[in-house]
């Protein structure tokens, strides 16, 4: 009965992701932009809430503005299964990074509801509001709130337009989104792979073994503004030239590091920049990742050491602020086994791979055991309007999620 009910569910999940790329669900008509707490964000939440209700769920928002749909179990007081992903996006994003996991979770619950089936435990579908960190200078605020790991100081942030998070919601209530320990027994997230491994293997889905450790910094350089035509080269304290040298140093350190270290300068800002002015100030972000926290830390330390050397040589002021430090997050072995079994049962070859990108699952690991299912994305493209997921692959992912839920139910009954 459940398999029949999901015959078009995966394809519908893809269609719904596509529908949410256009205004009013996007801040731009040219590529998806949906930042946390924007009008487009709330419009998307309202539409997703309709789909949750159609799937048999009751719907609410928590204190961090996460959208939550609840499908009751036979025992409403039992620890629950949480399934979800995020609905915010980077600027000029693709349709599926985050929303596909939410849509597939809704389809899975909808299939159970259509079949008249309830598990012994409740299931909640959560659409996290801030995973990307594209509006405020800290990522995963909303999953950190749910996991109970959020430092209240992290809420003292402003966006590029100088709008404070506290101007948009009650930050004093924000930590109350935390789930009590023991209230959630597992978290499952389906997500596009954001890499080419599954495509290279000819596979629709894969089981994630863990998520790489991340370190992110905000860096500010202070030089001296001056006229581009009258200030001799040897007298300049050019903040942009210093930044350019630091960007190349970042690339060099990452390339020379052993293992899987990657480092990225992702945001560059030159306040009051003009074509005929030597920049007196600039700022940029630094992101360093590796599957090993030790390798990540060594690379980050070396990059910052080179930054200080460059700043000293150029007589520039240097300020570095650590934005977040996320440890490597292995997925739960028992849950990986269940995903492998569900993939095999769906007629596909089980395959395991690591995630170099961060996900809400790495935060949720502080609350409960976690599992992740990757879905093939054409060309490994993400954070780009060219993202593409084949509806056939989404159907496979939905069957795997339902098989995973069934296996959790069998374990629960045997316990």
Interval 398-412 mean pLDDT: 95
* Domain C-terminal end among 326, 353, 378: 326
6 vs 242, residue with greater confidence: 242
Element (H, E) at 118: none
* Domain C-terminal end among 326, 342, 375: 326
Instruction: Give residue 3's pLDDT band: very low, low, confident or very high (50, 70, 90).
Output: very low
Tokens of 197: 């491994």
What's the rounded Cα separation, in Å, for the pair 58 and 217?
A: 39
Residues in binding site? 86, 97, 132, 191, 216, 276, 289, 383
Interval 46-74 mean pLDDT: 98
Element (H, E) at 206: strand 205-211
381 vs 72, residue with greater confidence: 72
**Are residues 340 and 410 both part of a single domain?**
yes
Interval 204-217 mean pLDDT: 93
Tokens of 292: 């090993």
Residues in binding site for Zn(2+)? 86, 97, 132, 191, 383
Interval 350-374 mean pLDDT: 93
pLDDT at residue 356, as a whole number: 83
pLDDT digits (tens, 9 = 90+) for 162-195: 999 999 999 999 999 999 999 999 999 999 999 8
pLDDT of residue 220 exceeding 50? yes
Least confidently predicted of 32-41, 131-140, 312-321, 328-337: 131-140
**Are residues 197 and 264 both part of a single domain?**
no
**Are residues 143 and 66 both part of a single domain?**
yes
pLDDT of residue 393 exceeding 60? yes
Per DSSP, helices labelled H in 225-330 are 239-256, 293-314
pLDDT digits (tens, 9 = 90+) for 232-279: 999 999 999 999 999 999 999 999 997 789 999 999 999 988 999 999
Query: Which CATH number do you get for residue 238?
Result: 3.30.70.360
What's the rounded Cα separation, in Å, for the pair 139 and 242?
A: 27
CB atoms within 10 A of CB 74: 10
**Are residues 79 and 192 both part of a single domain?**
yes
Percent of the chain with pLDDT over 90: 86
**Are residues 208 and 221 both part of a single domain?**
no
**Are residues 178 and 190 both part of a single domain?**
yes
Instruction: Give residue 31's pLDDT band: very low, low, confident or very high (50, 70, 90).
Output: confident
The number of residues making up the chain comes to 415
**Are residues 17 and 80 both part of a single domain?**
yes
What is the Cα 405 distance to its own chain's centre?
A: 23
Q: Which of 375, 318, 388, 312 is nearest to 348 (CA)?
A: 375
Q: Which of 200, 201, 205 is nearest to 341 (CA)?
A: 205
**Are residues 140 and 7 both part of a single domain?**
yes
pTM recorded for the entire structure: 0.81
Burial class of 325 by CB neighbour count within 10 A (0 to 12, 13 to 18, 19+) = middle
**Are residues 54 and 142 both part of a single domain?**
yes
Interval 49-78 mean pLDDT: 97
* Containing structural domain, residue 245: 215-326
**Are residues 145 and 269 both part of a single domain?**
no
Residues in binding site for allantoate? 216, 276, 289
Q: Determine contact, residues 194/97, Cβ cutoff 8 Å.
A: yes
Instruction: Give residue 4's pLDDT band: very low, low, confident or very high (50, 70, 90).
Output: very low
**Are residues 321 and 383 both part of a single domain?**
no
**Are residues 266 and 278 both part of a single domain?**
yes
- Give one DSSP letter per residue of 217-284, joined into a string: EEEEEE-B-EETTTS-GGG-B-HHHHHHHHHHHHHHHHHHSSSS-EEE---EE-TT--TTEE-SEEEE
* Domain C-terminal end among 326, 345, 361: 326
Percent of the chain with pLDDT over 70: 98
Q: Which 3 state secondary structure label does DSSP give 344? A: helix
Domains: count for the chain: 2
pLDDT at residue 7, as a whole number: 56
CB atoms within 10 A of CB 294: 11
pLDDT at residue 5, as a whole number: 44
pLDDT of residue 44 exceeding 80? yes
Query: Which CATH number do you get for residue 27?
Result: 3.40.630.10
């Amino acid at each position: 009965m459940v398999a029949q009910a999901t015959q078009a569910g995966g394809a519908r999940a893809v269609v719904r992701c596509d529908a949410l790329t256009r205004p009013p669900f996007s801040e731009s008509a040219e590529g998806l932009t949906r930042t946390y707490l924007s009008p487009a964000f709330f419009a998307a939440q309202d539409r997703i809430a309709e789909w949750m209700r159609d799937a048999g769920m009751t719907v609410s928002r928590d204190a961090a503005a996460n959208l939550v749909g609840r499908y009751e179990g036979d025992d409403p007081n039992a620890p629950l299964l949480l399934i979800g992903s995020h609905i915010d996006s980077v600027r000029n994003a693709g349709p599926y990074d985050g929303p596909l996991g939410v849509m597939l979770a809704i389809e899975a619950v909808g299939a159970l509801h259509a079949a008249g089936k309830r598990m012994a435990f409740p299931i909640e579908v959560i659409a996290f509001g801030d995973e990307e960190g594209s509006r405020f200078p800290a990522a995963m605020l909303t999953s950190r709130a749910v996991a109970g790991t959020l430092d209240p100081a992290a809420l003292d942030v402003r966006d590029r337009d100088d709008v404070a998070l506290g101007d948009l919601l009650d930050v004093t209530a924000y930590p109350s989104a935390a789930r009590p320990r023991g209230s959630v027994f597992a978290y499952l997230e389906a997500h596009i792979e954001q890499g080419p491994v599954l495509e290279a293997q000819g596979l629709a889905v894969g089981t994630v073994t863990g998520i790489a450790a991340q370190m992110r910094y905000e860096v500010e350089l202070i030089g001296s503004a001056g006229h581009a035509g009258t200030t001799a080269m040897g007298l300049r304290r050019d903040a942009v030239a210093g930044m350019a040298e630091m960007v190349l140093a970042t690339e060099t350190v990452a390339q020379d590091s052993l293992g899987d270290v990657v480092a990225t300068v992702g945001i560059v800002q030159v306040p009051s920049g003009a074509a005929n002015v030597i920049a007196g100030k600039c700022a940029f972000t630094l992101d360093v990742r590796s599957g090993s926290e030790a390798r990540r830390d060594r690379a980050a330390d070396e990059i910052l050491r080179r930054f200080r050397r460059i700043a000293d040589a150029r007589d520039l002021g240097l300020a570095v602020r650590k934005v977040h430090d996320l440890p490597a997050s292995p997925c739960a072995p028992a849950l990986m086994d269940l995903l492998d079994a569900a993939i095999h049962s769906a007629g596909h070859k089980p395959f395991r791979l690591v995630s170099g990108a961060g996900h809400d699952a790495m935060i949720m690991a502080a609350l409960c055991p976690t599992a992740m299912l990757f879905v093939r994305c054409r060309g490994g493209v993400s954070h780009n309007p060219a993202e593409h997921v084949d509806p056939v692959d989404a159907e496979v992912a939905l069957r795997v999620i339902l098989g995973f839920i069934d296996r959790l139910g069998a374990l629960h009954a045997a316990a």
